Amino acid sequence: GEDVEQSLFLSVREGDSSVINCTYTDSSSTYLYWYKQEPGAGLQLLTYIFSNMDMKQDQRLTVLLNKKDKHLSLRIADTQTGDSAIYFCAESAPASGGSYIPTFGRGTSLIVHP
Amino acid sequence: DVKVTQSSRYLVKRTGEKVFLECVQDMDHENMFWYRQDPGLGLRLIYFSYDVKMKEKGDIPEGYSVSREKKERFSLILESASTNQTSMYLCASGSPAGVYTEAFFGQGTRLTVV
């Protein structure tokens, strides 16, 4: 499948901004996604961006997309201890039956310390 | 709310046993997925199904099979469990809306093979 790359760990101080980066390979991806996984739980969609957008903001979250470099980032402003989780970047790859399969990066563990 | 339910949170099985992991979704989604999550490796797709009785191999299907007899249920089968199949297993479902494919996840099953 297509590769989605992201760094494995990020440590920030409470109140600072966190920036999680991701690179993807499928230039035809129409949507790109960020999922959050809290300890002991499955993944939940956090936000997504349509490929014709450069930026999307949703409260403390800002998603930036650079299509030329196939680079996606997630910025969390005023990071709180409750933001500690694993964050997955994802794209959709075409598959059988006209479906699209979510393809995930390895996940970035965000650790927020006081 | 969409609900994806996996039959067990934790399972301990012996090497060589046949293991069934069950997943049920309540939103009439066409697509269902089984992923395996391992530290540092992220989510890897084992199998997916885009319709009843339809299945496609993902990136790591060896040692696994699946069954989808009803739209709401997708089962993952470990034919003869081995210790290298000790992992977190995540089921997801989604309904394609064009190329937008949000995946809804169950809470995961942590399988230990001894």
Residues in B touching A100 (Cβ below 8 Å): 96, 99, 101
Contact yes or no for B42 and A98 at CB 8 A: no
Nearest to A31 among B4, B92, B100 (CB): B100
Name which of B43, B99, B105 is nearest A31 (Cβ-Cβ): B99
- CA B99/CA A4 separation, integer angstroms: 18
pLDDT recorded at residue A80: 97
| Residues contacting residue A97 through CB under 8 Å, at least 6 positions apart | B50, B51, B54, B56
* Beta-carbon separation of B48 and A43 below 8 A: no
Antiparallel, parallel or unpaired: β A100-104 and A43-50: unpaired
State the average pLDDT for chain B.
Answer: 93
pLDDT of residue B44 exceeding 90: yes
Question: pLDDT of A27-78, one tens digit each?
Answer: 777 789 999 999 888 999 999 998 889 999 999 999 999 999 999 999 999 9
Q: Is B10 on the interface with A (CB under 8 A)?
A: no
The reported pLDDT for the residue numbered B40 is 85
Q: Do B41 and A104 touch (CB under 8 A)?
A: no
Q: Give rounded-to-5 percent helix, strand, coil for chain B.
A: 5, 60, 40
Of the candidates B40, B96, B108, the beta carbon closest to that of A100 is on B96
Per-residue confidence band for B34, with pLDDT thresholds at 50, 70 and 90: very high
Q: How far apart are CA B36 and CA B54, in angstroms?
A: 20
Cα dihedral sign, B70-A40-B12-B36: positive
Yes or no, beta carbons of A44 and B105 under 8 Å apart: yes
pLDDT band at A1 (very low <50, low <70, confident <90, very high): very low
What is chain A's mean pLDDT, rounded?
A: 90
pLDDT digits (tens, 9 = 90+) for B71-87: 999 999 999 999 999 99
Residues of A in contact with B31 (CB under 8 A): 99
